[in-house]
Amino acid sequence: MGVVLVAGGATGIGLAATRAFRARGDSVLLADKNFPAAQQAAAETLSGHCTAFDADIVNLDAVNASVDACVRTYGSLDSVFVNAGVLRSMPLEAWTPQDWDLSMAVNLRAPFFYAQSAAPHLKRSDNATLIFTSSTGAMRGHAGMPAYHASKAGLIGLVRSLADELSPLGIRVNCICPGWIDTAFNQPFWSFQADRNAAMKDLVSKIPARRQGTPDDVTGAILFLASPAARYITGTSVVVDGGYTAV
């Protein structure tokens, strides 16, 4: 089966995707800065093999090292799923240049350099795909999260540019835009709200599906994009949000 690199695969959507890839027989290099969690995930009993790799992708060395490790371990590379993200919620005046740069480095810069690092290997695959986790936050904005929204929207543009450049080489580039998926990742947002419970009720009332999503709601889209069934799909965003952005 295929070889997949998941950056940010120890928790949440990344972990669900890692499990789903492995369940269908793919080998996965799971890169995450939470190495104990990565090792725990890699030790799960599933069809496809999994190797944990210690990487904080704010550092470009870690990006390159994880790609090299994947190709060394499994001999090839078919899919790169860059899911790691940073979500900070602070009032405007509290943001420092370092805070901004960190969000940009993880959310927008790392995916770009994953593309650069992985492209020479992906070119040799007959089912090559880059998938970035953007967000419905690329289309909507909330106070306190300027770097998150800017970087997630930036990924939409990045995907188009990379698709134009890499699709002639047979590498598809797309992003997924999960909506409100109920994981620990959103903690900073909920903590920033004046009344957390009221905010959550209000949000859910605005989602046609009347619930937040789960990581497993998103894995189908990721696996579809990484499969030959999506061979003519490139430069797009796939939104999984229970109808949140449809209204």
Partner 1 sequence: MAANQAQIEPMLKGKVAFITGAGQGIGLAVARAYQERGASVVLADIARETLERAALTLPDQKKTLAIALDVTDEAQTASALAQTLARFGHIDCVVANAGILVLKHVVELELAAWRRVIDINLTGAFVTAKVFARQLISQGTGGRVIFTSSLFGLRGGVENGAYSASKFGLIGLMQSLAAELARHGILVNAVCPGQMDTAMMQALFVERAALTNRTRAAVEGALLSRIPVGHLGKLEDLAGIYVYLASELCQYTTGQSFTVDGGWQVA
Could you list the residues that contact partner 1 (CB under 8 A)? 159-161, 163-164, 167-168, 170, 172, 179, 208-210, 213-214, 216-218, 220-221, 223-224, 227-236, 238-243, 245-247
Report the nearest approach of partner 1 to the CB of residue 44 (Å).
21
Q: For partner 1, give the closer residue by CB, 143 or 229.
A: 229
From 74, 114, 148, 244, the catalytic residue: 148
Report the nearest approach of partner 1 to the CB of residue 162 (Å).
9
- CA 243 remoteness from chain centre: 20
Q: For partner 1, give the closer residue by CB, 190 or 224.
A: 224
**Residue 79 in 3-state DSSP?**
strand
What Rg, from alpha-carbon coordinates, does the chain have? 17
Q: Cα separation of 38 and 167, whole Å?
A: 31
Report the nearest approach of partner 1 to the CB of residue 131 (Å).
15
Annotated active-site residue 148? The verdict is: yes
Give the burial string for 132-149 (b: 16+ CB within 10 Å, else e): bbbbbbbbeeeebbbbbb
Q: How many residues does the chain have?
A: 247
One DSSP character per residue, 142-190 reads -TT-HHHHHHHHHHHHHHHHHHHHHGGGTEEEEEEEE-SB-SGGGHHHH
Token pair 């999506």 in the structure block, residue: 230
Report the nearest approach of partner 1 to the CB of residue 164 (Å).
5
Q: For partner 1, give the closer residue by CB, 75 or 208.
A: 208
Q: For partner 1, give the closer residue by CB, 32 or 241.
A: 241
Say how many C-beta atoms besides its own lie within 10 A of residue 74's C-beta. 19
Q: To 5 degrees, how large is the angle CA 32–CA 35–CA 41? A: 80
Report the nearest approach of partner 1 to the CB of residue 16 (Å).
11
As annotated, the active-site residues are 148
